[in-house]
Structure 1
């Protein structure tokens, strides 16, 4: 054993002791895929015509397989592949071993470059964001081997359905050069209210969240007020993705105190959010300034947040997300879940985690309604939003099965679309050359 802990290199594995173990990993595939994405506007630009994800499939000696899903930017995929090559021979029940091998695979990471997970959040833990998909896939295998759902492995389900919020976006009618999509244009309060009505009518959502940071704060505040008029009893949230100054956040926050359930990431930094929280009578939520375990102590010390929006893709998988839930319970923080554009494997993982996490206090975020029903890698029919909630799958593992043909089709879609990383800003600038990425903006 080394001073830094046990050596989990392949050479230390005893094949004689593990030959009959159904959880020994024999093969791992990492497949980047692409799926159609509407032109959803945000503080850094606009979603491109395709979103990218990576699908991890871990197989064992006795034919079990486990599924994981994560970001699909090429730098992240390269890291996943390097970790996968080291995990062959490991035990899917030994998450400590898997975690140590992932960390080992990242010891010399300078050649890959880039954050690799797209979007706006770039301060997450490298080890945790690579580990996450492998952790989920291993738990899927464990559940299948034992004949129980992942929620049971996480302590048992405390709810049989998980509530989600309708995620509203300012958007164009369609991508330039393409026909309008089924959602149509939403560039003002009336457009967002119409979008919300469709969300509520189609999925039964009982909470709504607006992605802000797109227009002047006065317009976005008016949009929230229009939603309150249209949905008098609906919990409402707004997320400007940290592009407001402290002064703006205080002004808008005070205006919306009677309206909002919580204010999410009005500012980018812990100190600024603490300054807002000190004078605005609203809970402050975050998935930007608290995105790793290192962020928790300074945020609590500063009194910066009331609600942490966890994301198992950031926090190292499902068990480490439960560790975060324990911290939130200890320090009396609210807890919910952040979402990025995702497919059914991530959705199933979110649902299993939320089912077993007692202190999920708010309806979770999801992009699920924004993707085409035909764009997924799982066999359809298991995950459906009805009445704003999804029933927790009770079949072994995650409760979803891989559609091999769909995986191949969506990988070809990835190859054909030509995208290798998410870049909302460059795409926006190709359409509006005067667009500038600035933080804070208002």
Structure 2
């Protein structure tokens, strides 16, 4: 069996683009992958075209060797664009191999350790009474773990950290009081804060209010996270933007965080994700995968989550709260794929990923440039989204 073609589909699905990738073989077996670099899909398409120049014609069963060749056979290795391209190809190769062998992908990763994958959901309303009502609706729908939404991150917002952390801390405290101690509560700050601002946010709430704070500051400097670690006892969930095991290295080995927000569509696919998971297990860091994309990413991550021991929850954007606000259904484009049963994803036993794409319909979809909100402060300066 030889790889015969790699096809990229950067298409608009709902509120964002997705970059779905198909790897074909000369024996008719094909695999689907997905890239996770949201908002920069065109750059990843270009990287995939470069890789196709030497990947086409190769044996798709040699996944690890192809990963090493894509990563190492260039002077400027690594980086988010190249790793997003490698991720999509790697996931598709796992899909091919599973189909060719007649086994689900989790069997290629060591076998299934769980029959279903628990998820966490996210409220959509800004901090306030509606946010708490959404959280209650999620509990009624079966979720025991959820992420609250911070204040001030909508498009066109003026973002003043000190104002918004006060509002968010106040309503996180109210949410804990209203929801009780049994539910797991976290918040995603999308690396909007400085160390001092993040510490101040954490210190404005009683101990035990939050079970995790996600991406409070930027990740480039592990020492900054270590400084923040000394000023708060709230567990950290970080890593969704990490593009290799090497980016995870200082955080894991220096025991800075407790949850890995690993993204199989950014980190280098399932090949790299399994290495990070094993490394994390030795340091008692749980996997809490990032999953904001489409059904191909979800399917790949469900197989990953099924196969690793150190797993907590998988992000889902398919809860009734978010689907109500996002207002789109991708079931036509992806007629076969992971579907929630209550708050969990069953683990598919179908060969490969267990996902199919309506390629005819996909080819008719258009690409539309999308930009994340560009937030500014009152003085006009740019700040993080």
What's the TM-score bracket when you normalise by the shorter of the two chains? 0.7 to 0.9
Q: Which residue does 2:222 correspond to in 1? A: 270
Q: Which residue does 1:249 correspond to in 2? A: 198
Q: Which residue does 1:378 correspond to in 2? A: 334
* Preserved CA contact (<8 Å) 1:206 1:234: yes
SS in 2 for 1:339: coil
SS in 1 for 2:210: coil
Choose from 41, 44, 61 the match for 1:93.
61
CA pair 433-260 structure 1, distance change in 2 beyond 3 A: closer
Which runs of structure 2 are paired with 1:24-423 in the superposition (5 Å)? 24-37=2-15, 51-70=16-35, 71=37, 73-103=41-71, 124-169=79-124, 186-201=125-140, 203-212=141-150, 214=152, 216-232=164-180, 233-254=182-203, 255-268=205-218, 269-287=221-239, 291-300=243-252, 302-340=254-292, 342-360=293-311, 362-369=312-319, 370=322, 372-374=328-330, 377-380=333-336, 382-409=337-364, 411-412=365-366, 414=367, 418-419=368-369, 422-423=370-371
How many residues were matched structurally?
Answer: 362
**Any gaps of 5 or more consecutive residues in structure 2?**
153-158
Deviating beyond 6 angstroms after TM superposition, the runs of 4 or more aligned structure 1 residues are 432-435
Q: TM-score, structure 2 length as denominator?
A: 0.85
C-alpha distance in 2, partners of 1:302/1:105? 30
Higher mean alpha-carbon deviation, 209-218 vs 266-275, is at 209-218
Q: Which of these two proteins has the greater Rg computed from alpha carbons?
A: 1
CA pair 288-309 structure 1, distance change in 2 beyond 3 A: closer
Higher mean alpha-carbon deviation, 278-287 vs 319-328, is at 278-287
SS in 1 for 2:314: coil
Higher mean alpha-carbon deviation, 59-68 vs 382-391, is at 382-391
SS in 2 for 1:424: coil
C-alpha distance in 2, partners of 1:434/1:191? 30
Q: TM-score, structure 1 length as denominator?
A: 0.74
